[in-house]
Amino acid sequence: MYYLRPASHLMALLLIFAFVINSCQPVKEERPNVLWIVSEDNSPFLGAYGDEFATTPNLDQLAARGILYHNAFSPAPVCAPTRSSIITGVYANSLGTHQMRSNYPIPENFQFYPALVKAVGYYCTNNSKKDYNTIDQETAWDESGNKAHYKNRKEGQPFFHIYNFGISHESSVHKSIPNEELRHDPEQVPIPPYHPKTPEMKHDWAQYYDKVEDLDTRVGEVLEELEEAGEAENTIILYYSDHGGVLGRSKRFMYESGLKVPLIVYLPEKYQHLANEKPGTSTDRFVNLVDMGPTLLNVLGIDIPGHMQGKPFLGANAPVLDKTYGFRGRMDERFDLVRSVRDKKYRYIRNYMPHRIYGQYIEYLWRAPSMKSWEQAFINGELNETQSAFWKQKPAEELYDITKDPHNVNNLANDPEYTDVIQRMRGDNIAWQKEVMDVGFIPEPMIERLTKNKIMYEYMRQGEIPFDRIIETADLATRKEPGLLKEIADGLNDTNPAVRYWAVVGCVINYTEAMEYKAQMTDLTQDAEVAVRIVAAEALYNLGEKEMAVDALIQALENEYEMARTMALNVLELMGEDARKALPATKALLENASKKNSYDVRAAQRLVEKLETAAVVPTLAG
């Protein structure tokens, strides 16, 4: 028998004691790495989502090992306002950063979320797109650029890394690839019912599926790289797209095709407790991309700032939501204002500029051959009713049963059977606008002026503006319902310029009833707020005062604010030949422009092109 010596016996007791003490201490959980893989401009065109035409083996395999989200949506159907929402955790229409490619400021204490992750010791890298639609916070990332990589971190340091791939971006179909080089057959590609089957449309769709396949290949390389680095089982992976897309009526538009995005979450075994769902399953839990930052913070145990409006969908106490919201503002050189509410069965859309057609010309969008072919087919009278709707004015409200109508072509808004649904979702929409203090109802020329010395998020909350009155006026003014104008017209004399603006918009939309307010429209072309002057000119044009209207818009072309000039050019273009008097002023704008690709320049170039080629354009009241 072996006996311990006294010293050895003592050492053994000490070892046993140390073991017992250590076993009673809570085990500190290893901090996960987090990898986001972001694609651009694509809806859920993946095999994992049931798209049999797609070639996406790597993403399909990731979904098979992870969680597939069926109700993931972007807050806006375009990149910059969505990315503004993601980086701040606040809806861009609440911040005033909702207009495409604007640069309006946000509150100084609203840190971009990666700065909060850096503060707890993570190495935060972004490769490489920002496009935050506001003033950049350059120290938010440890590295941001096309060389940024998690491998540059200190040994043992956890990382948060974003790969952003533009492979499937809209620009991928601007240059046409010969048919014989395409891997996806244009004659077999699925075409949504709102698109005509022109050769260009079929080709662009097939080429786009090729680009999604290329994206998938790149995702496979990233996942293999992670494996080789020995970090695969230490890393939480999220794949998503920044919004839907990419062909006409998807990106930029408030349908499933523009707002619904793919989202796959992979959790290694030791982190699977962070989700309610099991690996290899799917969920109908609602996610909005504004939730991404709060979710990351929640997963890492970092307190979510109180101003963030997004909600975590992973980690402790993640709420289960029953609806989500979306917004659209100005898209490049064209003004629009749309809001949307989506629950598990219906999508409600509220158009606040129903007097404009869906298919307003946007220079960048028109670079796709499919867009030109679609427009030409409409001009030629070759489209059916569903395909033609894009080229006509919008209804004030739209309602779609997603379960029966995934392409959103059968508008149920005026169907008596759905009265309760539309009233409920109409109320949800207005309640959300009030909750976030929606800056979109302030005309952008006014925002551009105010942000010289104000921050819109703060301005909306300081009690300086009658927000409820603005919302109410905008709602009544844009309903396209006979008999409302007398109620709307009370706002023509309001002390607040945004209320006056919407009251005048009501006269533009309801121009057949607006003759008794003609004198007021004339006076309002001299209003202190340029946005009011512009819409008053539009109203006067519809009331037959064409020369007076054009003169007022020519004056607006000399305004110091780009968005005022752009708005005036939008109206002039719709006047067709009647706008010819503005041609010298428009050319002068082009000659004197300091930025040759600004939005007023793009709109001016289009107006000159139309007038000098005598192109046929619809009239404002048409």
Tally the C-alpha atoms within 13 A of residue 267's C-alpha that lie toward its C-beta: 20
Amino acid of residue 23? S
Residue 460 in 3-state DSSP? coil
Query: Is residue 497 within 8 Å of 470, Cβ to Cβ?
Result: no
Amino acid of residue 36? W
67 phi/psi in degrees, rounded to 5: -120, 130
Burial class (CB in 10 A: 0-12, 13-18, 19+), 549: buried
Q: Residue holding tokens 């969008």?
A: 365
Active site residues: 79
Residue 282 in 3-state DSSP? strand
Distances (CA, A) of 392 to 314, 511, 578: 42, 18, 21
Q: What is the DSSP letter of 271?
A: G
For 265, residues 6+ apart whose C-beta sits below 8 A from its C-beta are 66, 67, 69, 236, 237, 238, 275, 314
CA angle 286, 287, 289 (to 5 degrees): 155
Amino acid of residue 185? D
Residue 556 in 3-state DSSP? helix
Taking Cα atoms as reference points, which of 315, 273, 300, 312 lies closest to residue 122? Answer: 300
240 phi/psi in degrees, rounded to 5: -155, 165
* 3-state DSSP percent of the chain in helix, strand and coil, to 5: 45, 10, 45
Distance, in Å, from the CA atom of 178 to the CA atom of 180, rounded to the nearest integer, reads 6
- Tokens for 345, please give them: 């069965």
Q: Does the N-terminal peptide bond of residue 38 adopt cis geometry, omega within 30 degrees of 0?
A: no
